[in-house]
């Protein structure tokens, strides 16, 4: 049975923790709003980019000139998995969900006998994956210093990936991130970025319709456009990720605050009971002492 | 009054400008071009330079862009810029830094094709620097 003093200390500790989780929740809420705004502001660019890409993909006849980034190497041996996670923890199942999806994919691909390379973006994903797949991780990108994710960050990652691809480092590249649905629901997603899927370009081309003139020519533009498109996809994935991270942290900290509140209630109850018991005990002692006289 | 068309300037971070314009000058890969309403559909690379927008209301604005694409249709024009800022907000130090980086890239370049590509990029950047 803890003494009254112990209980008082416990209550004080839990109260201090509750204050911290509450503050973290509010910070996450503010950051979430900003992250959501950033993700929304970036949407027009990626939408138009895919429209332009769809247009131009229809114009360039599939031939030798079509860049490899679009058609792929024609093989399916080496897979590069780009796993984007958060830099910090304390955000519920956010990081582990992404890591789990990546792990499932790795195991499935390994069972098929494919070669796998992993590029970690964000510290937490690296920490989780290195336990099992340290030898497969080729590099990690640290965004810890980055306050606000800018396009240049995504561009750097994209350049690194494209460089690797041009040197024959892999055949297929898949991006792992968490799609932001709402504050309480973030969906870990795998998206193939190389070779760029041309599946939906048909539909997008239909609304363009017009016969374009290309300056200098379609291949040159396409060669320039596809690396940029990859950077844009990574950029929007990073933005979705940061919104998801803040959302996950917000709900995690909300439930932590609530748990702390429940704990305080319980501790206060037993504290009061014990105090009452002590008072009663003292009274009995006094009364029985008086009776004995 | 000249016909107007819908002009949009988009950078990856946000939609910078969306308004009715009467005339837009774009630094195309094969030289500057002026886009007006009912322009034939053209898709072009944009090199680093200045996009000048004359809006339908008569005001004129200049934006610095660092590469991208322009998608031109008879009733609209969209510039997808890798990075775009208003001329007044340009960060000269950042521009200087870019030029410095490009110079370093030029020294590291191995093939001739790469060298000429980077040299051209550098050329565009220095032209831009003297223009702002």
Distance CA B33, CA B30 (A): 9
pLDDT of residue A102: 93
Task: Give mean pLDDT, residues A126-155.
Answer: 86
For residue A6, how many other CB atoms are within 10 A of its CB?
12
Mean per-residue pLDDT over chain A, rounded:
86
Please determine, for residue A120, whether its predicted confidence score (pLDDT) is greater than 60: yes
pLDDT of residue A55: 75
Q: Using the beta-carbon criterion (under 8 Å), do B69 and A225 form an inter-chain contact?
A: yes
Confidence bin at A286 (pLDDT 50/70/90) = very high
pLDDT (tens digit per residue) in A50-107: 888 777 777 766 555 667 777 777 778 899 999 999 988 889 889 999 999 999 999 9
Q: Which residue from B29, B73, B82 is facing A210, i.e. has the nearest CB?
A: B73
Among residues A71, A49, A16, the alpha carbon closest in space to that of A204 is found at: A49
Among residues A269, A293, A263, the alpha carbon closest in space to that of A15 is found at: A263
Beta carbons within 8 Å of A238's beta carbon, 6+ residues apart: A84, A121, A143, A149, A153, A154, A177
Distance CA A218, CA A231 (A): 20
Q: Using a pLDDT cut of 90, give the percent of chain A over it.
A: 48
| Alpha carbon separation from A5 to A14, A15, A162 (Å, rounded) | 14, 15, 63
**How close B19 gets to chain A, by Cα (Å)?**
15
Which residues of chain B fall below pLDDT 50?
none
| 8 Å CB contact between A106 and A135 | no
Q: Which residue from A38, A45, A224 is facing B10, i.e. has the nearest CB?
A: A45
Strand partners, A80: A117, A173
Whether chain B has a CB inside 8 Å of the CB on A15: the answer is no
Q: Using the beta-carbon criterion (under 8 Å), do B30 and A216 form an inter-chain contact?
A: yes
| Alpha carbon separation from A134 to A32, A120, A188 (Å, rounded) | 32, 11, 22
The larger pLDDT score, comparing residue A199 to residue A74, is at A74
pLDDT of residue A220: 80
Please determine, for residue A26, whether its predicted confidence score (pLDDT) is greater than 90: yes
3-state secondary structure A165-228: HHCCCCCEEEEEEEEEEECCEEEEEEEEEECCCCCCHHHHHHHHCCCCEEECCHHHHHHHHHHH
| Residue B122 DSSP SS3 | helix
pLDDT of residue A62: 54
Distance of CA A149 to the CA centre of its chain: 13
Tell me which of B5, B8, B11, B12 to substitute to probe the interface with A (most A C-beta atoms closer than 10 Å).
B12
Distance CA A141, CA A145 (A): 11
Q: Which residue from B42, B45, B83 is facing A220, i.e. has the nearest CB?
A: B45
Q: Using the beta-carbon criterion (under 8 Å), do B80 and A224 form an inter-chain contact?
A: no
| 8 Å CB contact between B68 and B80 | yes
Please determine, for residue A201, whether its predicted confidence score (pLDDT) is greater than 60: no
pLDDT of residue A146: 77
Residues of B with CB under 8 A from a CB of A: 8, 10-15, 28-30, 40-45, 69, 71, 73-74, 78, 80, 82-83
For residue B94, how many other CB atoms are within 10 A of its CB?
12
pLDDT of residue A65: 60
Q: Using the beta-carbon criterion (under 8 Å), do A44 and B15 form an inter-chain contact?
A: yes
pLDDT of residue A265: 97
Tell me which of A38, A41, A45 to substitute to probe the interface with B (most B C-beta atoms closer than 10 Å).
A45
> How does DSSP assign B71-115, residue by residue?
EEETTEEEEEESSEEEGGG--HHHHHHHHHHHHHHHHH--SHHHH
Whether chain B has a CB inside 8 Å of the CB on A45: the answer is yes
Whether chain B has a CB inside 8 Å of the CB on A220: the answer is yes
Confidence bin at A21 (pLDDT 50/70/90) = very high
Task: Identify the structural domains of chain B with CATH numbers, from first to last.
Answer: 5-87 (2.60.15.10), 91-131 (no CATH)
Least-confidence region, from A137-141, A173-177, B128-132: B128-132
pLDDT of residue A152: 85
Among residues B13, B81, B86, B91, the alpha carbon closest in space to that of A34 is found at: B13
Q: Using the beta-carbon criterion (under 8 Å), do A44 and B41 form an inter-chain contact?
A: no
ipTM reported for the complex surpasses 0.85: no
Whether chain B has a CB inside 8 Å of the CB on A228: the answer is yes
Task: Give mean pLDDT, residues A256-272.
Answer: 96
Chain B residues with CB under 8 Å of A46 CB are 12
Confidence bin at A151 (pLDDT 50/70/90) = confident
Q: Which residue from B42, B43, B80 is facing A45, i.e. has the nearest CB?
A: B80
Q: Using the beta-carbon criterion (under 8 Å), do A210 and B11 form an inter-chain contact?
A: no
Half-sphere exposure at residue B99, Cβ-oriented, CA atoms within 13 angstroms: 14
Omega prior to A146 cis, within 30 of 0: no
Q: Using the beta-carbon criterion (under 8 Å), do B82 and A48 form an inter-chain contact?
A: no
Half-sphere exposure at residue A209, Cβ-oriented, CA atoms within 13 angstroms: 3
pLDDT (tens digit per residue) in A203-253: 444 444 557 788 777 778 888 888 888 888 899 899 999 999 999 999 999
Chains A, B: CB contacts under 8 A, how many?
82
pLDDT of residue A278: 94
Q: Is A120 an annotated catalytic residue? A: no
């Amino acid at each position: 049975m803890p003494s009254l003093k112990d209980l008082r200390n416990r209550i004080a500790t839990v109260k201090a923790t509750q204050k911290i989780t509450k503050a973290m929740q509010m910070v996450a809420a503010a950051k979430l709003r900003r992250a959501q705004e950033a993700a929304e502001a970036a949407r027009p660019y990626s939408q138009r980019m895919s429209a332009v890409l769809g247009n131009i993909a229809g114009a360039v006849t599939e031939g030798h000139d079509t860049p490899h980034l679009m058609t792929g190497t024609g093989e399916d041996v080496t897979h590069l998995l780009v796993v984007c996670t958060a830099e910090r923890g304390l955000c519920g199942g956010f990081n582990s969900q992404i890591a789990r999806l990546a792990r499932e994919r790795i195991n499935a691909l390994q069972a098929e006998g494919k070669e796998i390379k992993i590029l970690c973006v964000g510290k937490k994903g690296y920490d989780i994956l290195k336990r099992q797949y340290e030898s497969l991780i080729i590099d990690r990108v640290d965004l810890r210093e980055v306050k606000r994710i800018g396009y240049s960050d995504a561009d750097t990652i994209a350049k690194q990936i494209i460089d690797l691809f041009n040197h024959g480092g892999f055949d297929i590249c898949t991006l792992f991130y968490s799609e932001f649905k709402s504050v309480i629901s973030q969906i870990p997603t795998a998206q193939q970025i190389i070779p760029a899927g041309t599946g939906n370009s048909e539909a997008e081309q239909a609304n363009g319709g017009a016969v374009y003139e290309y300056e200098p020519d379609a291949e040159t533009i396409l060669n320039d456009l596809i690396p940029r498109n990859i950077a844009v996809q990574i950029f929007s994935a990073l933005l979705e990720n940061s919104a998801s991270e803040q959302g996950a942290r917000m709900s995690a900290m909300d439930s932590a605050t609530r748990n702390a509140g429940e704990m305080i209630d319980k501790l206060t109850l037993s504290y009061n009971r014990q105090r009452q018991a002590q008072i009663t005990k003292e009274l009995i002692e006094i009364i029985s002492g008086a009776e004995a006289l | 009054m000249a016909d107007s068309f819908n002009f949009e300037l988009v950078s990856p971070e946000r939609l910078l400008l969306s308004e009715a314009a009467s005339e837009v000058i774009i630094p195309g890969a094969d030289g500057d071009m002026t886009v007006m309403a009912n322009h034939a559909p053209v898709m072009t690379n944009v090199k680093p330079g200045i996009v000048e927008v004359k809006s339908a209301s008569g005001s004129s604005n200049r934006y610095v862009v660092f590469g991208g694409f322009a998608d031109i249709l008879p009733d609209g024009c969209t510039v997808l810029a890798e990075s775009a800022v208003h001329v007044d907000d340009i960060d000269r130090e950042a521009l200087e830094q870019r030029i410095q980086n490009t110079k370093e890239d030029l020294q590291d370049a191995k093939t001739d094709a790469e060298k000429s590509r980077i040299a051209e990029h550098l050329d565009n950047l220095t032209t831009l620097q003297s223009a702002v």
